[in-house]
Each structure stands twice: as C-alpha cells, then as structure tokens.
Amino acid sequence: MTIHKTRMLILGSGPAGLSAAIYGARAGLKPIVVQGIQPGGQLMTTTDVENYPGFADVIQGPWLMEQMQKQAEHVGTTFMYDIVTGVDLSRRPFRLTGDGGDVYEADTLIIATGAQAKWLGLDSERHLAGKGVSACATCDGFFYRGKKVVVIGGGNTAVEEALYMTNHSPDVTLIHRRDSLRAEKILQERLFANERISVLWDKTVEKFVAGGSPEGLVGLDLRDTRTGEHSHIACDGAFVAIGHSPATELFQGQLALDEGYITVEPGTSRTAIPGVFACGDVMDKHYRQAVTAAGTGCMAALDAERFLAEAEFAAKRAEAA
C-alpha cells in the first residue's frame, strides 16, 4: 500500500478537473489528479467540438483533453491512473482509497467526477452515436441546421432541448412514451406554442436506422406503447434527452445532494464540508458544457487555495496566542 499526501486532491480528469489542476499547480499546491474510470471525461467520446472558445476551426474532443492534461502536467500536476472506491470526509486530512489499495490523504478535495447522459441502451443507438445520435443539443445542434430532427424524452431536459433546436431546425419532433409530459408547465406552454415543434405521444424507440454514404442516421423505428403498432419517422438527427446521472455514489451520506448532484454554496464551489469543493457536471444540473465545467474548475481551485491560506493563517495565529 502506498500513501500519497497532497494539499489538493482532484477526482476526475475532464475539463473541470483539469482546469482545477492547472490553477492549483500554478498556485504551487502540487495537486494530484485521480483520473477515474474515464480519463478525460465525456469529451473523450466527442468527435467534433465547435463551441469551445479559442478555436476558429472544429477541434476533436480527445485532442482538447490531451492538450489540457499536458498543460496541467507542465505546471506541476501529478496524474494517477486509479479509481477511488472509498472516501472518508469526517476529518482532515481527508482519506480516500483507490481500488488497488493506494491511499490518498488530502488537505483539500476537489470533486470533478462529472455526470453521464442516460441512454436508451439500444445497440443501434450505440452504433450511431456521433453519426446522427447525440445526447446534447446545445453541443451538437449546430450541425443540423435546416434539417429534420427528433428529441426523445418528456422531462425538462427534453423540452428544453426541443425548444433549443428550433434555433437551427424548422422541423423538430418530440417523441415521448407517455401521453403527457413531466416538464414544468411553463416549458410545456412554450413547447406547444412553438409552430416548429410537433409531438408524438405514446411512442418508444425500437431502433435508430442507419443509411446513406457515409453511414449515418436516416430515421427511427417506433412502437406505440398502447396499441403496439409499429411506425417509422425519417430524420437527420436524434437527441436522447432522458436525463443525466451525476457520479456521486461515493459521497452519499457524506455530502448534501440535490437530485444526485452535489450541493454547493451559491456562487462558489464550496460544499457543506470545509475543504471539500465540487465543480463541473457533478454539481451543475443546468448547463453541462465543457466551458462552464472548466470555469467552475477554476473556481474550485481558487476556493481551495483561499481555504488553505486562511487555515494556515489561523493556525499561525493560534500558535502565537
């Protein structure tokens, strides 16, 4: 068993975690990043990135994360290829255990474990991911300008995605497996008032249909949840909007959660436990963008740096008293 001691431990290596690492390292805190089950986060599965500031041309998600990691390493961050399986936040230094038995002791902890979009779980969905099937209209909607698209779901996320897509598409269809929506009433009113959006009720997706050259999405095979009748809808793009799952299982019972997301003090990254901070999609149920994740990663590092400085000042004052 190896014990790794650090002033700043960061869980997660997506845009939030790497931004926190860059700022923490530049402050001389020599952070350790535990990369987790998906090093690089969700952008590692994103091909074309067109909305990250600073790049005039389309860039690749994996390339962007590679560059961010190199930058973090260059300024003094240590990366551990490990998965944390145990967390004790009852006292400082915080004590975390990796699945290989290594122990991490940290004066501050930044949680940037992210969230994963929920998928329908179809083989055809997985096959066409990035080829017409997406889980983020804000990320990929621009690629479907003037084309016919569908949004799958019935909650706030689905309605918001459908409304957003009317900025790009004149023909948006919302597909829901029930006969009423779960979204907030004000969102429903906006949806039903939008002439660009139509709704297919009581329909579930059985298959995402591929075709064309190069191969991409050309439509969806549907089944009526009441009658069992089968139908088909042609489309160029499909957005699965059935929610997200933040990676917070480790912190249940130790940190306050809101619908699974870590609760932070408004306008900060501070959790209810002094010295523990959260950033990125693990605490952001609204935006879930790479650039907002990176911004909150910066906030978390600055909050942690200030926490350490204040703690050290208080300790010195206590010694002098």
What's 52's domain CATH number? 3.50.50.60
Residue 321: which pLDDT band, with cuts at 50, 70 and 90? Answer: confident
Q: Residue 41 is which amino acid?
A: G
**Residues labelled as active-site residues:** 136, 139-140
Question: Backbone phi, then psi, for 183, in 5-degree steps?
Answer: -65, 160
Q: Are 10 and 34 in contact (CB under 8 A)?
A: yes
Residue 79 sits in the same domain as residue 139: no
Residue 31 sits in the same domain as residue 103: yes
Higher pLDDT, 307 or 315: 307
Residue 172 pLDDT: 98
| Mean per-residue pLDDT over the chain, rounded | 94
| Count of domains forming the chain | 2
CA-CA distance, 101 to 197, in Å (whole number)? Answer: 53
Residue 125 sits in the same domain as residue 237: yes
Asked if pLDDT for residue 114 goes beyond 70, the answer is yes
Query: Is residue 125 within a helix (H) or strand (E), and if so which, with residue range?
Result: helix 123-127
Range of the domain at 126: 120-241
Residue 216 sits in the same domain as residue 291: no
**In angstroms, how far is the first alpha carbon of the chain from the final one?**
39
CA-CA distance, 113 to 280, in Å (whole number)? Answer: 8
Radius of gyration, alpha carbons of the chain:
22
Residue 2: which pLDDT band, with cuts at 50, 70 and 90? Answer: very high
Last residue of a domain, one of 241, 272, 290: 241
CA-CA distance, 223 to 226, in Å (whole number)? Answer: 9
Last residue of a domain, one of 203, 225, 241: 241
- Strands 230-234 and 216-224 turn out to be antiparallel
pTM above 0.85, yes or no: no
Residue 279 sits in the same domain as residue 229: no
Helices and strands, number each (H, E), in the chain: 7, 21
Query: Is residue 95 within a helix (H) or strand (E), and if so which, with residue range?
Result: strand 94-98
Residue 45 sits in the same domain as residue 102: yes
